[in-house]
Structure formats: C-alpha cells, structure tokens
Amino acid sequence: MKTILISSLLFSGISIGATIFDESINGELSDDNTMPTALTGLSVGSNVIIGTLLSNPDDDREYFTITVPTGFTWSGLVIDSYVGTPFEDQSFLAYVAGDSIVSPTSASANDLDGNGLFGQAQIGNDIFPALTGANSALPAGDYTFWFQETAPVDIAYELDIQLAAVPEPSSAFLGLLGLVGMMGRRRR
C-alpha cells in the first residue's frame, strides 16, 4: 500500500517548485538587456516570478535569465496572473537561448528565438508552445527573457516557468526490467 501511495505521488504531476523572484521582496528586475537579472535555484515543477510592469513602456523593460540545470528541461511557461490598471490585455514577451538579449532599439524578430503577446486571455494557460514554437521541452542551458508593457498602464503579473527532470536511461531500463520481472512472476 505504501508503494502505491508513493508511486502515485511521484507520478501525479504535483509541482514541487516555488517563487524564485518577487519584485516586492527582491527589488526590480534588470532594465539592461546586456545585464539581465540572473534567476537561480530553479527546480523541477513550478518556478514563479512575480512582478509589475509600470506605465511608461520606454522605461520599464524587464530582462531576466534563467539557468535550466543539467538533468532538467524547460517544459512550460504558464501565465498564473495578469492584471492591468486600467484594463490592458496584452504585453510583449520574448526569449533567446543565452545570457543576454538584443537591444530593443535594434531588435527584429530574427534576433529572437521566440516572441509574442500575451494577456488575460492566457491566464492559466501554458504559452510555452506558442512562444518557443517547440512541441517538446528545451534542453538545459541559459534562456534570457525580455518582458515589456507597450501601453501606458501598470501590469501586475505572475509567470510560472516549469522545469521537468530528464529521466535517466538507466532508470527507465530498470523500471522496464522490474515490470517484466513482475509479469513473469505473475505467470508462475
């Protein structure tokens, strides 16, 4: 019975992550595309970033870099919260693989690995496939984000960067071997 309970918890998709950055506690994210804020300590599951974009779109660009550790993949980006004052429905988000991003004054879509607009319509949704164009997770490494409100409104947001563990081939093989052994034992 204990084995079933532990197995259920391990494979149920329960997030194990936490808030990795909160601007109200940690201060503002960087406004310098060549020196984005380094967000560390990401773990499997949810890794939440809480912040605000202020009403002057030329002054409040936010840049941050995540490092996906070896043995993990970047598998999702969920909009947990998005509130505009007054009502605003879209903000710009872009990313590149690496530890810095192109200057916004000279950027083109070709300089970015992915970009798009998101807002209240995407709350609770995973925008990872739309942003990255990937149907599967991206590998370990550095990814830098550029986040900006383009209208004269204040935005409060929560982004959930989701990481998944890469299964070790030996673990999968041992699991399969155990399953075959159990099936053979049942037949006797």
E-assigned strand segments in 14-153: 18-22, 37-39, 45-53, 61-68, 72-85, 91-97, 114-118, 141-148
| CATH number, span 13-187 | 2.60.120
Report d(CA 6, CA 15) in Å as an integer.
15
70-84, 91-105, 134-148, 165-179: least confidently modelled range:
165-179
Question: What does the pLDDT read at residue 5?
Answer: 34
Query: What type of residue sits at position 163?
Result: L
Query: Is residue 20 pLDDT above 50, yes or no?
Result: yes
Confidence of residue 170 (pLDDT cuts 50, 70, 90): low
Closest CA to 107 of 96, 122, 119: 96
Closest CA to 40 of 128, 115, 142: 142
Domain ranges of the chain: 13-187
Strands 61-68 and 37-39, by their bridges, are: parallel
Total length of the chain: 188
Cα atoms found within 13 Å of the Cα of residue 141, Cβ hemisphere only: 11
Residue 127 per-residue DSSP state: -
Question: What does the pLDDT read at residue 13?
Answer: 38
Report d(CA 52, CA 29) in Å as an integer.
9
Whether the model clears a pTM of 0.85, i.e. scores above it, the answer is no
